């Protein structure tokens, strides 16, 4: 079966997952994480991408990125993977592939899903049982987005900037979103859309975009994120 062509709309954010081959580790020591983040910052600028959120797990990576050009996303991941794999293979005396094929992605084409997607990414270490709170995991953008910590890789998206008038207001508002949690239906929808290169958005947005593009852009019946029952 031919693989689905990746839908790219410049200026619209994407959720990206890059997994280690056969679920094997892609980070082996602390310097590996530093190296990946160094190249992420440098190559995002070179390729024309804004990075809004990230988390580096032991055997996979999540990114929330806005490509500014039609080829920006593919170029970023190509260059990032080339540089990082060359570093890992040389340092750890290994050969061959590190990643599980091409990266997976979904277009986050709805305001209501963007901040949910950022939280989904930054909550990965909590869901994995690695930490009790996202601030306790140092290889993510949580402390930059929720606590105002310096992180030169992060570019604030207009949706994030709309959370408040000052950096402190925005950080507090973003932090408060984490108290709401993310319901399992939305988590499943984000995973399915990302793994299958679909679009995640409300039903109305999906219907309009699908009609204009003339292609299927979602796997099933979408729904707008909602707060979990108290």
pLDDT 10s digits, 53-76: 999 999 999 999 999 999 999 999
More confident residue, 183 or 207: 183
Burial class of 225 by CB neighbour count within 10 A (0 to 12, 13 to 18, 19+)? buried
Q: What is the mean pLDDT of the chain?
A: 87
**DSSP per position, 208-223:** HHHHHHTS---SS---
Q: How far apart are CA 76 and CA 82, in angstroms?
A: 10
For the whole prediction, is pTM greater than 0.85? yes
**Cα–Cα distance for residue pair 185/61, rounded to 1 Å:** 22
Task: Give me the numbers of helices (H) and strands (E) for the chain, helices first please.
Answer: 9, 5
Q: What is the pLDDT of residue 213?
A: 57
Share of the chain above pLDDT 70, in %: 85
pLDDT at 199: 75
**Angle between helical axes of 167-177 and 111-122 (0-180°, round to 10):** 80
> Residue 129: which of 33, 183, 217, 58 has the closest Cα?
58
Confidence of residue 168 (pLDDT cuts 50, 70, 90): very high
Chain segment 96-155, per-residue pLDDT in tens: 889 988 899 988 977 778 999 999 999 999 999 999 999 999 999 999 999 999 999 999
State mean pLDDT over 82-107.
90
Residue 212 has pLDDT above 80, yes or no: no
The pLDDT value recorded for residue 207 is: 59
Q: In angstroms, what is the C-alpha Rg of the chain?
A: 17
């Amino acid at each position: 079966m031919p693989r689905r062509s990746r839908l790219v709309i410049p200026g619209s954010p994407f959720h990206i997952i890059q997994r280690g081959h056969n679920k094997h580790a892609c980070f082996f020591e602390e310097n590996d994480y530093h190296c990946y983040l160094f190249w992420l910052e440098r190559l995002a600028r070179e390729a024309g991408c804004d990075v809004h959120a990230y988390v580096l797990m032991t055997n996979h990576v999540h990114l929330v990125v806005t490509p500014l050009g039609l080829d920006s996303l593919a170029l970023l991941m190509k260059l990032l993977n080339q540089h990082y794999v060359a570093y890992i293979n040389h340092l750890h005396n290994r050969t061959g592939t590190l990643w599980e094929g091409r990266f997976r992605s979904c277009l986050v084409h709805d305001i209501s899903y963007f901040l949910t997607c950022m939280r989904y990414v930054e909550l990965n270490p909590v869901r994995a049982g690695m930490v009790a709170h996202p601030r306790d995991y140092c290889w993510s953008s949580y402390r930059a987005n929720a606590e105002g910590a310096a992180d030169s890789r992060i570019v604030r998206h207009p949706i994030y900037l709309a959370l408040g008038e000052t950096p402190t207001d925005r950080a507090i508002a973003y932090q408060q979103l984490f108290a709401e949690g993310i319901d399992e239906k939305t988590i499943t929808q984000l995973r399915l859309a990302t793994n299958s290169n679909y679009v995640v958005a409300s039903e109305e947005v999906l219907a309009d975009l699908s009609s204009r593009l003339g292609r299927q852009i979602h796997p099933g019946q979408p729904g707008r994120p909602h707060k979990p029952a108290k």
